[in-house]
Chains A and B, each alone.
Chain A
Amino acid sequence: MPEHPFSLDDKTILVTGASSGIGRAIAIECSKLGAKLIITGRDKKRLSDTFGTLQGNGHDEVTADLSSAAEITALIKSIPILDGFVCNAGVNKLLPIQFITEKDVGETLQINSVAPILITKDLVKRKKLKNPSSIVFISSIAGVFSASPANSIYSASKGALNGFMKNAALDLAKKGIRCNSVNPGFIKTDLSDIKELNEDQLQKHLTKYPLKRFGMPEDVAYAVIYLLSDASSWVTGAPFRIDGGYTIQ
């Protein structure tokens, strides 16, 4: 047991989608608190950039495309036993209902819902999660607590993710594996730099946030750290809203 309940000393943690944005911030902040990271991403160069900024030693990086079940299995086979898994990789596309295509639905659900389910399954089946350990799913307020224009596919994928999280928390409790989610509002990252929106629309959206700013990737990372640490050892099946007060109104 680490000296401080919020410490991640000597914990081995897998973070997917770590090549940019929220995933990168999670990996960096976890390394500052003593964790040994295994980071994955699709973009080898940007993943290496993240890897280079991690503090401490003993980290590992694996380039992986999580849209392929075979690559997921290869990834899980190659990694050591984990204390924590941060399921972060995600995609977003704004699309009004009448323009949704099967391809858009398939791609979004594959990355945001199917891959998290299959990774969790492989980790459990191959006994890669310690007793005790912690899984944190990076979800969204969208589809779980709120809705926003043209965001229905993304909302569906995150709603599915939270449904899985809750049930996995129940199924995996006896193995000592806790499952929770962090549900952020609008975070300033590459992913949220949504090309369909212009600056005027973003400024209008900002007025809906009582704390008068959009979130930073670190705001999400600090919540993830709590859920990975021993400080949250009696917390499972819980969605953790990090949204500057957006959903209280």
Chain B
Amino acid sequence: MDIQNFIDMFSSLFEVTPKNELRAGTEYKSLEEWDSMMALETIAMIDEEYNVGLDGDDIRGADTISDIFEIVKTRMNA
């Protein structure tokens, strides 16, 4: 798994945010479209695609897309 693939999966959850606004360093929680429902969608997408179960606190502690990616990568290798 590489980060570009993860960003592609993550960006597929967004309806209106342009894909080119989503990069590894993007602070996704400051995007206008981000809300608590998208946090649940992110958890469900990661469970479905990577078979990793994140919880709400993981999302709370991750500021950038790269931060989420690193958590997923670590759990996949654990």
Greatest chain A CB density within 10 A among B37, B44, B55 is at: B44
Residue contact A150 to B56, C-beta cutoff 8 Å: no
Query: Could you jot down 6 A-B contacts, CB within 8 Å?
Result: A94-B40, A96-B44, A99-B45, A150-B44, A198-B57, A200-B60
A190 contacts the other chain (CB 8 A): no
B41 contacts the other chain (CB 8 A): yes
Interface size class of B (residues with CB under 8 A): 10 to 19
Interface size class of A (residues with CB under 8 A): 10 to 19
Greatest chain A CB density within 10 A among B48, B53, B56, B59 is at: B56
B30: min CB distance to chain A, Å = 15
Known A96-B41, A149-B40, A150-B37: A198·B59 in contact at CB below 8 Å: yes
A226: min CB distance to chain B, Å = 35
Residue contact A99 to B37, C-beta cutoff 8 Å: no
Closest Cβ neighbor of B47 among chain A residues:
A99
In A154-211, the 8 Å CB interface with B consists of: 194-201, 204
How far is it, in angstroms, between the C-alpha of A240 and the C-alpha of B48 when the chains are bound? 37
Closest Cβ neighbor of A204 among chain B residues:
B36
Q: Encode B32-74 as 1/0 by CB contact (under 8 A) with A.
A: 0000110111011101100001011101100000000000000
Contacts beyond the supplied A94-B40, A195-B56: 4 A-B pairs with Cβ under 8 Å: A150-B44, A194-B56, A196-B43, A204-B36
Residue contact B41 to A196, C-beta cutoff 8 Å: no
